[in-house]
Amino acid sequence: MLNLILFGPPGSGKGTQATKLAKQFGLVHISTGDLFRYEIGNNTPLGTEAKRYMDQGQLCPDTVTIGMLRAKVDRHPQAGGFIFDGFPRTVAQATALDRLLKGMGEEVNVLIALEVSEDEITARLLERGKTSGRPDDQDEDVIRKRFSVYQAETAPVYNHYAEFGKARRINGVGEIDNIFDRLTAEIEPLKQLS
Ligand code: ADP
């Protein structure tokens, strides 16, 4: 198996690149943001709870998020690997993911962070908000809040994997295809290991 974490602040392009990488390497793409939006769209109790946090730019509680992630992984017993997008977002989530994969005799092979500045991200998200219909992309205060939550709670996840020599950074600014090439250059050498 090849298990990747695509990391970076909101609006750094994780969703776009994860979709392309999943296709290229035959991986199951799991986006916790998409899973929450699916629950919201179906008016489930989980969706109703998640929406309260998302609309304010806060993280959903770890227990809820981890349970949902685990259920999704369990639905893909034949997967050749996973690409995690928007997860883990806290060190507790990272530890839970490590434990889940270990139970399957697997591990995270690499975390790749897309580096993009706060100003670039704010501009991208406000632009996305014009067409995405996402309430959390339409309010600059909510966008700034997501960025500060990212720095306080999510950025430490990078160090969690860097300690094991598994974290990389790449420049997340430029053409989509060029960024994709930078990502594949990091991932190709790992294919042989899996
Ligand atoms: P973005 O990366 O653009 O912020 P996402 O679609 O990944 O967008 O996430 C949207 C929102 O969903 C987050 O702001 C948060 O409220 C919630 N969310 C997504 N993933 C997680 C997670 N792993 N832990 C907690 N909350 C999450």
pLDDT tens-digit map of 40-98: 999 999 999 999 999 999 999 999 999 999 999 999 999 999 999 999 999 999 999 99
pLDDT for 113 beyond 70 = yes
Ligand 1 centroid, distance to 184 Cα (angstroms): 24
Predicted TM-score (pTM) of the model is 0.95
CATH at residue 56: 3.40.50.300
Catalytic site includes residue 14: yes
32 lines ligand 1 (CB under 6 A): yes
Is the CB of 9 inside a 6 Å radius of any atom of ligand 1?
no
* SS3 assignment, position 192: coil
User: Ligand 1, from 52, 59, 111: best to mutate by most atoms within 8 Å of Cβ?
Assistant: 59
- Exposed, middle or buried, 1 (CB in 10 Å: 0-12/13-18/19+)? middle
3 vs 130: CA distance, rounded Å? 33
Question: How many structural domains is the chain composed of?
Answer: 1
What is the pLDDT, as a whole number, of residue 193? 58
Question: What is the residue range of 130's domain?
Answer: 2-193
Kindly tell me if the per-residue pLDDT of 192 is higher than 90.
Answer: no
Q: How many CB atoms lie within 10 A of CB 141?
A: 9
Residue 129's pLDDT is 94
Q: pLDDT (tens digit, 9 = 90+) per residue, 115-164?
A: 999 899 999 999 999 998 899 999 999 999 999 999 999 999 999 999 99
pLDDT, mean over the chain:
96
- Find the 94 Cα to ligand 1 centroid distance in Å: 15
Q: Are 4 and 109 in contact (CB under 8 A)?
A: yes
Distance from Cα 50 to the centre of ligand 1, integer Å: 10
Q: How confident is the model at residue 191 (pLDDT cuts 50, 70, 90)?
A: confident
CB 97 within 8 A of CB 160: no
Is 75 in the active site?
no
The predicted pLDDT at position 194 comes to 57
